[in-house]
Amino acid sequence: MQFVYPAFLFALLSLTIPVLVHLFNFRRYQKVYFSNVQFLKEIKEQQSSRRNLRERLILASRSLALTFLVLAFARPYFPNKNTVSPGKRQVISIFLDNSYSMQTLNTEGSLLDEAKRRAKEIASAYSINDRFQLLTQDFEGKHQRLLTRQEFNDAVDEVKISAQSRRLPQIVSRQQSIMQNQPGTAEQVYIISDFQKSATGQEPIKPNPGVNINLVQLKANTLPNIAVDSVWLLSAVHRPGEGEKLVIKLHNYADKDAKGIPLKLFINGAQKALGSFSLKAKSTQQDTLAFSGLQSGWQQGLIQLQDNPIVFDNDFYFTFNVKQQMPVLLINGGQVNPYLQAAMATDAFFKPVDVNYGSVDYAGLSNYPVVMLADVKSIPTGLAQQLKTYVAKGGTLVVFPADGANLNSYRGLLQPTGAAWPEKLVAEATRVNSLNTSSPLFKGVFEDIPRNPDLPLVQKYYQLSSGGRAQSEALMDLLGRQPFWSGYRSGSGKIYLSAVPLQESYSNLPRHALLIPILFRIALLSGHDQPLYYTIGKNEVVETIPFQLSEKQVLKLSKGNQTFIPDARQQEGSTFLYVADQIQQPGNYLLKKQDSLAAVIAFNNNRLESDLTYFEPGELKNLVPKNGMVAQAGMGSLQGAISETNFGLQLWKVCIILALIFVAAEILLIRFYKVEKQPLSASATFK
């Protein structure tokens, strides 16, 4: 047995007081005169024996009551393996889960309200000299400091629901970061949560030495929930007035089938589609909604479904841009290629921009969805490097080699991207033997595919290397399966390489009927606009079109009355916005430069919170170290359980009870234990 406050044991010296009182209990006797006292001898002996027993019992009761009272103040306990040394200052970090799932109701109210109450119970189990850290899903800077118990309770009352969702190792790592600056203290970590499987993760916790991990699981009711997981548009490029098809991925997280769930699609506040759907239990389903009548400019989309009682994931936001024209960059070797210029000018939607290879604006490359390189005899190293970066970031590059090309310069451009390159000139006539009609590039081009299509004739061509064949997609092949026009994936973009220049001395491709539809399809499939949406807490960096900024010109994100100034950085022809934890609410946010609209960016809640499946206590035990504790928050208070864990088996309450018992025993002895008086003998007479 050990004591929390052993100094109080010096108070046991006070036991001498009742002993001295009993030893020097001088009584004032009344004299009674008898004529003969020989008959009182037996009565006196009997009364003296009973009086001595009574006084000793009273002395024992007083001494034991005082002893147990002193022991109660000394706080005796039986230690266990997690017992903290008495008097040692402790730092307690308490994580309070305030994610969307904590809005769920149980018998105690909302889970968040119960979590707040449990956090205060934990704090009350520690000494007034201990210090506390409050941490929530927001990872706010103000929570990176230590608080007194009263300050901690006030901070708990201010916690509100957040859109953030963190993994368990992230939380523990954040809690331990502040403890590393508190040497010589006992470190306790508490995590109060419902512990969803999808949000918590399956990765075990690996705490620092000396840190005790304690998980407090709140009992949540399992509720049905349906959510929109993601959306995407089938068209890569969006043109005014054309029809659009939106694919929606729906997810039923419940154990029961869902039927007749209504769903609405809004574009710029106007309802564009209405429908209902049914989903089997624990399954996903894709539905397609068609709409049209769009004007040029940014489109703000909203998918809304009715699914109660879980409503935080019923809305899904997305944005996209309908362009009036698509710019196409044509890089030439000194003279404009008439065939490329004529082909791209056929449709007013395309806006061709011709530029000499030595005058390319590298910073503006990202403004063009597709770049076409033709008739450049030798590609400069700087241009090659910029084109590789452009493709890696999602751009589309179409290459037509020049007559008399410097093949080494083409190799320097194409080989690092994983594409083939022209190796040598083959001066023999041949023809295109096959057309890959299964390629997405030809989807919708042919109403009826003829058995013997008219394919280009070739007088001479560049033989392409075998490099990049594994990731290539053949559009046309010559006899002998030699590639004539192929596509290659590189990074996030694509490269299309032709084996012939756009000159009639090499082939009849410049005047062939296939040239225009292929170039149009390449351009239309090359759209690399910003993503339809971002996820709060998951995407902290937003990439958008490049901006020329100055000290007086800043970018702002706004939604309603909320306005944020993100950290904007220029890098490789793009502007990166670092929003960190500024975005807390889902919705469509306007990106403005001064007062002009630059873009619209959609943010949605993390769908990890939509799956209301929780860990069992045994499963949680596998995530914590051997000395960790997993507690199920029931109806009782956590204060007693935590005190026993930190200070062993506490005995002070037992001491108080025993002290009261012995005080009561003393009172009873004094009140009811009387020394009976014997009647005097008849022969005794008073004088």
pLDDT (tens digit per residue) in 586-608: 999 999 887 788 889 999 988 88
Q: How many CB atoms lie within 10 A of CB 471?
A: 11
Number of H helices, E strands in the chain: 13, 36
Domain limits for position 161: 90-220+613-646
CATH number, domain with residue 480:
3.40.50.880
When divided into structural domains, the chain yields a total of 5
- The predicted-structure confidence for 109-123, as pLDDT tens digits, reads as follows 789 999 999 999 889
- DSSP assignment of 45-94 equals HHHHHHHHHHHHHHHHHHHHHHHHHHHHHH-EEE--TTPPPTT--EEEEE
Q: Is residue 461, in this structure, part of any structural domain at all?
A: yes
Query: Quick one: 477 and 568 in the same domain?
Result: no
Query: Quick one: 277 and 172 in the same domain?
Result: no
Closest to 413 measured CA to CA, from 370, 376, 443, 463 = 376
- DSSP assignment of 414-442 equals HGGGT---EEEEE-S-EEEEEE-TTSGGG
Q: What is the reported pLDDT for 448?
A: 64
* Residue 685 pLDDT class (50, 70, 90 cuts): very low
CATH number, domain with residue 157:
3.40.50.410
Sequence-separated (6 or more) residues with CB below 8 Å from residue 674: none
* Residue 14 pLDDT class (50, 70, 90 cuts): confident
What's 611-673 look like in SS3?
CCCECCHHHHHCCCCCCCEEEEECCCCCHHHHHHHHHCEECHHHHHHHHHHHHHHHHHHHHHC
Query: Quick one: 74 and 174 in the same domain?
Result: no
- Give me the mean pLDDT over the 507-533 stretch: 86
Q: Structure tokens of 1?
A: 């047995």
- The predicted-structure confidence for 287-325, as pLDDT tens digits, reads as follows 899 999 899 899 999 999 988 888 888 999 999 999 888
Q: What is the reported pLDDT for 453?
A: 79
For residue 145, the 8-state DSSP code is S
Q: What is the reported pLDDT for 251?
A: 92
The reply to whether omega before 566 is within 30° of 0 (cis) is no
**What is the spatial order of strands in the sheet that 226-233 belongs to?**
226-233, 244-252, 283-291
Mean pLDDT (the chain) is 84
Query: Quick one: 365 and 502 in the same domain?
Result: yes
- Give me the mean pLDDT over the 675-682 stretch: 51
Q: Is residue 438, in this structure, part of any structural domain at all?
A: yes
Query: Alpha carbon of 113 to those of 97, 121, 159, 279: distances in Å?
Result: 11, 13, 10, 33
Among candidate residues 323, 343, 367, the one where a domain is terminated: 323
Q: Is residue 678, in this structure, part of any structural domain at all?
A: no
Query: Quick one: 471 and 334 in the same domain?
Result: yes
- The predicted-structure confidence for 619-662, as pLDDT tens digits, reads as follows 888 888 776 778 776 656 777 667 666 666 777 788 889 889 98
Does position 355 have pLDDT exceeding 90, yes or no?
yes
CATH number, domain with residue 539:
2.60.40
Q: Is residue 681, in this structure, part of any structural domain at all?
A: no
Q: Is residue 685, in this structure, part of any structural domain at all?
A: no
Query: Quick one: 236 and 368 in the same domain?
Result: no
Q: How many residues does the chain have?
A: 687
Query: Quick one: 198 and 50 in the same domain?
Result: no
Q: What is the reported pLDDT for 145?
A: 86
- Distance, in Å, from the CA atom of 573 to the CA atom of 371, rounded to the nearest integer, reads 15
Query: Quick one: 403 and 541 in the same domain?
Result: no
Q: Which residue has the tokens 């053949």?
A: 474
- The predicted-structure confidence for 103-154, as pLDDT tens digits, reads as follows 887 777 789 999 999 999 889 888 888 889 999 998 888 888 889 999 999 9
Q: What is the reported pLDDT for 266?
A: 95
Q: What is the reported pLDDT for 587?
A: 93
Show contacts of 466-474: CB within 8 Å, 24+ apart.
Answer: 466/420, 467/415, 467/418, 467/419, 467/420, 467/421, 468/414, 468/418, 468/419, 468/420, 469/420, 471/418, 472/419, 472/420, 473/436, 473/439, 474/434, 474/436
Does position 38 have pLDDT exceeding 80, yes or no?
no
Percent of the chain with pLDDT over 90: 32
Query: Quick one: 316 and 330 in the same domain?
Result: no
Among candidate residues 306, 323, 340, the one where a domain is terminated: 323
Q: Comparing 409 with 453, which gets the higher pLDDT? A: 409
Query: Quick one: 393 and 405 in the same domain?
Result: yes
Does position 680 have pLDDT exceeding 50, yes or no?
no
Does position 74 have pLDDT exceeding 70, yes or no?
yes
* Residue 36 pLDDT class (50, 70, 90 cuts): low
For residue 499, the 8-state DSSP code is S
- Give me the mean pLDDT over the 66-90 stretch: 73
Does position 449 have pLDDT exceeding 70, yes or no?
no
Report angle CA 70, 71, 73 to the nearest 5 degrees.
70
Query: Quick one: 431 and 373 in the same domain?
Result: yes
For residue 408, the 8-state DSSP code is H
Q: Which residue has the tokens 């009574």?
A: 54
When computed from its CA atoms, the radius of gyration of the chain, rounded to whole angstroms, is: 42
> Residue 451, Cα to own-chain centre: how many angstroms?
55
Q: Which residue has the tokens 């009584």?
A: 27
Among candidate residues 524, 548, 577, the one where a domain is terminated: 524
- Distance, in Å, from the CA atom of 231 to the CA atom of 286, rounded to the nearest integer, reads 9
- Give me the mean pLDDT over the 456-463 stretch: 94
Query: Quick one: 313 and 340 in the same domain?
Result: no
Q: Is residue 303, in this structure, part of any structural domain at all?
A: yes
Does position 469 have pLDDT exceeding 60, yes or no?
no
Does position 231 have pLDDT exceeding 50, yes or no?
yes
- Distance, in Å, from the CA atom of 405 to the CA atom of 64, rounded to the nearest integer, reads 108
Q: Is residue 686, in this structure, part of any structural domain at all?
A: no
CATH number, domain with residue 317:
2.60.40.10
Q: Is residue 152, in this structure, part of any structural domain at all?
A: yes
Percent of the chain with pLDDT over 70: 86
